[in-house]
Amino acid sequence: MKIFFSLLLLVLALALGYFLLVKPDILLNTEKANPAAEGFSRFYSNFRNSILQGTNHSDFIISLPDGSVELIPQLRRREVQVNPADPAWRGEVMRRRFQSGTTLKAQLGQYVQQEEMVLFWTLPRDYVVKQFFETNGSLLEALQELAFTLGPDFKQQVSAWYCPKSRALVLTDLQDPFLQQNCIATPRSLPQRR
């Protein structure tokens, strides 16, 4: 009986050794993590935890005046002041870093300016970045990720829009026919919140 168990343990050890040498991905998770996704996930987690745990909101949340009233007139004015952008534009694919201590609106605004566009942020709050994170993709993808991440903090659906005639990117909780007719919603902005 001892010999049987010894042989069984030897066979199991050899099988384990074989799989570790030949197919390590079966037993070990060899997937490399995407640092940009991890950073954004960490930001989202920290952001949501700071809201839920009741940390001092004034340290990380900045109240802003309501900019939604002026949004549509500003977009209309820009349509006559600037050359329209390509409707197929998405922005340069690159890493965009959001440093601790900066605000989302200011940092995103800098990236938008680098692409010769303008950002309209009509949300009543801005957020101080608590922990560094980065996005790795187009500028529209970064805008879309922010809209998706910030959405649960607002009663109305937060949506991200690209307005080619105005050369503008919009992050708003305003639902207006002008945006639907003259701008392009980022993909995650399309489904309605239930």
Instruction: Output the pLDDT for position 192.
Output: 46
128 forms beta bridges with 103
* 69 and 5 belong to one structural domain: no
Instruction: Give residue 25's domain range.
Output: 1-31
* 27 and 38 belong to one structural domain: no
* 121 and 79 belong to one structural domain: yes
* 131 and 172 belong to one structural domain: yes
Domain count, the chain: 2
Write the pLDDT tens digit of every residue in 57-89: 568 999 999 888 999 999 999 999 999 999 999
Residue 94 has pLDDT above 80, yes or no: yes
Q: What is the mean pLDDT of residues 111-119?
A: 97
Residue 116 within any structural domain of the chain: yes
